[in-house]
Structure 1
Amino acid sequence: MADPSTAPPLTRASVQAAHKLIEPYIHKTPVLTNSTLDRLASTPRADAELEGTEWAGRTPAKPVLRFWFKCENFQKSGAFKARGAFHAIERLKQEPGWAEGGGRERGVVTHSSGNHAQALSLAATTSGIPAHIIMPTISAAPKIAATRAYGGTITFSGPTAPERESTAAQVQSQTGARLVPPYNHPDIILGQGTAALELQSQIPPPTTLDAIITPCSGGGLLSGTALACHETGIHVFGAEPSFQGADDGRRSFLSGTRIDTVKSATIADGLRTPVGPIPWGIIYERKLVRGMYSVSEDEIKKAMRMVYERMKIVVEPSAVVGLAVAMFNEEFRGMVEREGGEEGWDLGVIFSGGNVNLDVLGELIR
């Protein structure tokens, strides 16, 4: 993809420029509200719910929360990843000499468990560019099928980040394709940040957002959101699953040292990747993200069921991790109670995608 050294600066203005570039290719996804979820989130949890957790014995928090859900599950290819993929392709097409030197015929290559795979396949095919996609063998079957349907040529790999990257390097060597990483590149980050940029413009006056919370895996969406909110007064938070150490971003944030490997079989299959160096620089080193929080597998399932029952929309487990934090993480809820007081917070929640395996959906929300 475009040389990182030629990328625009990582600023809010660059996110705005990215939005103008990709606007013809993406959906301006809706922002939904739900008074029932507001009420449930603003009701203190029962003491019994906290038994067996790190908050056992504490007085349950009493935050006041009003949700604004940015529904990227309605985005092209079913997830926010289309934003970064289209931005990367459009920037690559602008690179001097790329097309003339045979770049268009050699195509692009990436590694992804599913959402970026689908998004890049769609973005590349839209411009008549071959897309070589490395997917872990454990990827959800619907994501594999969709990637093929969007025109991607799939090569399978092992599940870990090093295995994916090694296979991608082999395919790149064989084809001469340009690598389009799933998160660790300025063009991807700026594209992902356009979701939060839109969200801000979709809140009806005089309401303004107090904060936005997004899922965090490689960190592209979270760091892009942080750029989109820079100097707006909107706090930005990251959310992760805790299962088998998938909360590497939270642990990195607390220790001040980026954890570069993670191996987890969390049901939030889009959040199994460690935070990349470039997103980390925005999230932690520039201090544009205020905090990171994690939730259990059961809490993710509960949040997912709430969305299906109360909002009647299709979301994948990764998409609801931010909502689960707001519903069940007493540390986060206590902070909202202290800082929001009786007025509370208007909280933007980015539903990152809706590419769920329908064969196992009943099990997930049982």
Structure 2
Amino acid sequence: MNIDMIRAAAERLAGHARRTPLLTSPFLDEIAGRRVLVKPECLQHTGSFKFRGGWSAVSALDEDIRKRGVIAFSSGNHAQGVALAAAKHGAPAVIVMPTDAPQMKIDNTRALGAEIVLYDRPGGESREEAGRHHQEARGLTMIKPYDEPQVIAGQGTTGLEIAAQAAELGVKNGDVLVCCGGGGLTSGIALALEAEAPGLRARPCEPEEFDDATRSLVSGQIEENARKSGGICDAIVTPSPGEITFPIMKRLCGPGIVVSEDEAMQAMALAFSRLKIVVEPGGAVALAAALFHEDKIAGEAVVAVCTGGNVDAELFGEALARFG
């Protein structure tokens, strides 16, 4: 992984991905005690930053390989990103999804033209086993959700945009808070900031009980979560940081920040009321860290990446009812 791959991915994404803005609100600034700049990747195609990585990986394939099709494992956001990228390239896509994934994400992935294979994650079924037959029988190319160089390169384009946008606003130093699962987005942004905005530092943000990246940065080695599923932040629930992503985070990232599910829900409500955007729980974790953990952040400004907005109406309604 290097900055040249991220820049090349940005060229392939030009005209296909949205350049999401940096949003501000004086109300959020008051809560956080500093200037808060929100990068709303919930406005990206398919409702999350995952389209960037999906397009980067699919577009990088040799045409003959791409025509045979791709396969991916995902609880929803990576699924939709790969499905749309494959559809726009005229390639078949098989997506292996857990039965406990939000129904909206399953439905949306299918609507984008992907073939869905469900597996029983709560019951301990292996996703690799569920998808192995399709991959081997049909010669499909695996696109991993985060531990894949071309996926990381695509996610890193978010960091290129942050660097340019922060410079336009006169922000040269500060923390960039990133909702973190396996670390694809966090490591990609960290690499982009190293090259384009060295005064900005990426920091992973995670929900309680799924704080593997935070603990790994403390210990200096890859740590696993005791829980493998559950919780409302499904978009960023992973067993551990990736073999590719963790060394990048270890070298470049600041300490992780862990938030509660209630804080994520409150951040969802505030994002809706103050910024008029819809954010899912896992996508609101970085904003929750910016708003409610100000003592762990230094500087006059902070950037929070709202990574996705694919939330079921019932859960979103609960957030608004409790904290709106």
Query: TM tier, shorter chain?
Result: over 0.9
Alpha-carbon distance change, 354 to 206 in structure 1, aligned in 2, over 3 angstroms:
same
Alignment of structure 1 residues 176-187 onto 2, 5 Å = 176-187=139-150
* 1:348 partnered with 2:303: yes
Q: Distance in 2 between matches of 1:172 and 1:260?
A: 27
Could you tell me which runs of 5 or more consecutive residues in structure 2 were left unpaired when the two chains were aligned. Answer: none
Q: Distance in 1 between matches of 2:184 and 2:136?
A: 26
The equivalent residue for 1:358 is: 313
Write the letter of the residue equivalent to 2:284. Answer: V
The equivalent residue for 1:246 is: 210
Q: Select the residue among 8, 14, 20 that pairs with 1:29.
A: 20
Deviation, 1:259, is 2.2
Question: Which has the greater radius of gyration?
Answer: 1
Between the two proteins, the alignment pairs up a number of residues equal to: 315
Q: Deviations over 1:114-168 (max 9, x none)?
A: 0010010000010100000000001111111110111110000122797223323
Moved more, 185-194 or 173-182: 173-182
With normalisation by structure 2, the TM-score equals: 0.92
Identity percentage of aligned residues: 37
The equivalent residue for 1:301 is: 265
The equivalent residue for 1:236 is: 202
Q: Deviations over 1:19-48 (max 9, x none)?
A: 112112111112211111001111xxxxxx
Deviation, 1:269, is 0.9
The equivalent residue for 1:256 is: 220
CA contact (8 A) 1:15 1:228 kept: yes
Q: Select the residue among 53, 57, 66 that pairs with 2:35.
A: 66
Q: Distance in 2 between matches of 1:364 and 1:138?
A: 20
Q: Select the residue among 74, 87, 93 that pairs with 1:112.
A: 74
Deviation, 1:209, is 4.6
Alignment of structure 1 residues 1-366 onto 2, 5 Å = 10-42=1-33, 65-93=34-62, 99=64, 103-159=65-121, 163-203=126-166, 204-231=168-195, 232-242=198-208, 245-260=209-224, 262-273=227-238, 274-284=240-250, 287-329=251-293, 333-336=294-297, 339-340=298-299, 344=300, 346-365=301-320, 366=322
Could you tell me which runs of 5 or more consecutive residues in structure 1 were left unpaired when the two chains were aligned. Answer: 1-9, 43-64
**Secondary structure, aligned partner of 1:211:** strand
Q: Distance in 1 between matches of 2:292 and 2:242?
A: 27
The equivalent residue for 1:5 is: none
Write the letter of the residue equivalent to 1:33. Answer: T
CA contact (8 A) 2:38 2:287 kept: no
Write the letter of the residue equivalent to 1:66. Answer: R
Deviation, 1:17, is 2.0
Alpha-carbon RMSD: 1.7
CA contact (8 A) 1:239 1:294 kept: yes
